[in-house]
Amino acid sequence: MKNKILILISLVSFPSFINALSYEVRGIERESQMFGDAICVSLYIINNSRNTYSFNIFAIDAKGDGLTATPSLFVSKKPDFNPNQDLTANSKARGWLCFDEPEYGWVPETIEFSEILGSKFLTVYVN
């Protein structure tokens, strides 16, 4: 009986830590506009937890081939992913997130989302 109660408590207590944020990469495209070129990644992120996650444009980095890129301020693709949003419990975020290309033909391998002065809460594997 004691073991059954412990297992039940474990199942109730830990689901918010298991797969708290899930994601899907739905596409990668290069976008050229008047103010420059960018590589855009179509994201679909689901918050399966009871927590709220705050995205911030200054705490998002794309990495690959030893290079790092930040979200583009001048190039976008519709529908765009809002890099400054709160993802509340059981909600979804989707859209294209564009990054300034550190060199022509570059494609990110990962996109890291962090708290503004804190730790990383999501790593998206692009490839």
pLDDT value at position 1?
A: 53
Q: Give CA–CA dist 54/67, Å, rounded.
A: 25
For residue 81, which of 42, 125, 27 has the smallest C-alpha distance?
42
Q: Is the pLDDT of residue 116 over 60?
A: yes
91: its two tokens: 């909600």
Determine, yes or no, domain membership for 99: yes
Q: Give CA–CA dist 33/112, Å, rounded.
A: 25
What is the mean pLDDT of the segment spanning 81-101?
97
Q: Give CA–CA dist 3/35, Å, rounded.
A: 62
What is the mean pLDDT of the segment spanning 94-109?
96
Domain of 112, in residue numbers? 19-125
Determine, yes or no, domain membership for 39: yes
Determine, yes or no, domain membership for 105: yes
pLDDT value at position 117?
A: 87
Determine, yes or no, domain membership for 106: yes
Q: Compute, in degrees rounded to 10, the torsion defined by CA atoms 53, 59, 62, 63.
A: -110
Determine, yes or no, domain membership for 90: yes
- pLDDT of 51-79, one tens digit each? 999 999 999 999 999 999 999 999 999 99
pLDDT value at position 118?
A: 85
pLDDT value at position 121?
A: 96
Q: Give CA–CA dist 97/114, Å, rounded.
A: 15
Determine, yes or no, domain membership for 3: no
CATH code for the domain in which residue 93 is found: 2.60.40.1240
Determine, yes or no, domain membership for 2: no
**Burial of 46 from C-beta contacts in 10 A (0-12 / 13-18 / 19+):** middle
Determine, yes or no, domain membership for 26: yes
Is residue 16 a contact partner of residue 49, using CB atoms and an 8 Å limit? yes
- pLDDT of 16-57, one tens digit each? 445 599 999 999 999 999 989 999 999 999 999 999 999 999
pLDDT value at position 10?
A: 42
Total count of domains within the chain: 1
For the chain, the distance separating the N- and C-terminal CA atoms, rounded to the nearest angstrom, is 47
